[in-house]
Amino acid sequence: MNIRDESALRELNLYPLWVRRGTAAEVESVSTPLAPVVETYNANAAMVTTISKPAPSPTPNIDMPDVGALSWPQLKAQVKECTTCKLRAGCTQTVFGVGDEKADWLFVGEGPGADEDARGEPFVGQAGKLLDNMLAAIQLKRGNNVYIANIVKCRPPGNRTPESDEIAACLPYLRQQIALIRPKLIVALGKTAATSLLGRDATLGSLRGTLHDFNGTPLLVTFHPAYLLRSPAEKAKAWQDLCCARQKMLS
């Protein structure tokens, strides 16, 4: 195990567990112990059979951008100049998304926070550091076959949850990003990302443990890293979700 792997597993509260249970040689194999975890998860949560279909997007009382035919440069330019919803008035800049534009993995969060608003990049700061370690725990790295985006591209004031009209106004951009990336798996980070993409309200708990469908792309739901920072006891469940995601990609 390299230092990065160890750091990632410590962040997820997993590293001491592996050390206690295994010899040094067994600890080295931590990158491949996914099947037992997935089987347990499947048994507990009736995973992977699923498939919930997304509902139509809500229709806001504002002009939604027509972006369905835009290329990457056109889409980036339009987002940069966007003033479609009221969030733009209170943010420093739009936060488009970052990563490999042909990635197999797409991670979607809720919206930019203060650090993201200042840097113009999603998931920086403490939540970003945890996300990077979550990625490392399943042998992924930001920018390398991974794309990261948010449901809304402008920071909601005070880091409040985006409102439904704001989500509906911004979602066409993310939909077009998904159409351009064509990921093999979408991982929705938190309830807002999950319910916005699936087009229906539900608890995070009810959405975890099921393989959903987003316009033909498998979608899994797990916790938002910011929530995990506040509720570290849930990191073990996030690890289960990540293992299932990786298992799905290997299948």
Residues that bind ligand SF4 (CB under 6 A): 79, 82-85, 87-88, 94, 152-154, 166, 169-170
Pick 190 or 218: Cβ nearer ligand SF4 = 190
As a whole number of angstroms, the distance between CA 247 and CA 243 comes to 6
Pick 170 or 226: Cβ nearer ligand SF4 = 170
CA dihedral 10→115→77→90, nearest 10 degrees, is 140
Structure tokens at 214: 């987003």
Q: How far is the CB of 34 from ligand SF4 (least distance, A)?
A: 36
Note the residue count of the chain: 251
CB 71 within 8 A of CB 79: no
Pick 95 or 221: Cβ nearer ligand SF4 = 95
Q: How far is the CB of 11 from ligand SF4 (least distance, A)?
A: 30
As a whole number of angstroms, the distance between CA 13 and CA 234 comes to 10
Pick 33 or 60: Cβ nearer ligand SF4 = 60
Pick 94 or 222: Cβ nearer ligand SF4 = 94
DSSP 108: E
Q: How far is the CB of 61 from ligand SF4 (least distance, A)?
A: 14
As a whole number of angstroms, the distance between CA 234 and CA 242 comes to 13
Pick 170 or 197: Cβ nearer ligand SF4 = 170
Q: How far is the CB of 57 from ligand SF4 (least distance, A)?
A: 13
CB 150 within 8 A of CB 110: yes
Q: How far is the CB of 135 from ligand SF4 (least distance, A)?
A: 25
Q: In what order do the strands lie in the sheet with 217-222?
A: 98-99, 146-150, 105-109, 185-189, 217-222, 212-214
Q: How far is the CB of 80 from ligand SF4 (least distance, A)?
A: 9
Pick 75 or 211: Cβ nearer ligand SF4 = 75
Question: What b/e readout covers 104-131, taking b as 16+ CB neighbours within 10 angstroms?
Answer: ebbbbbbbbbebbbebebbbbbebbebb
Q: How far is the CB of 82 from ligand SF4 (least distance, A)?
A: 3
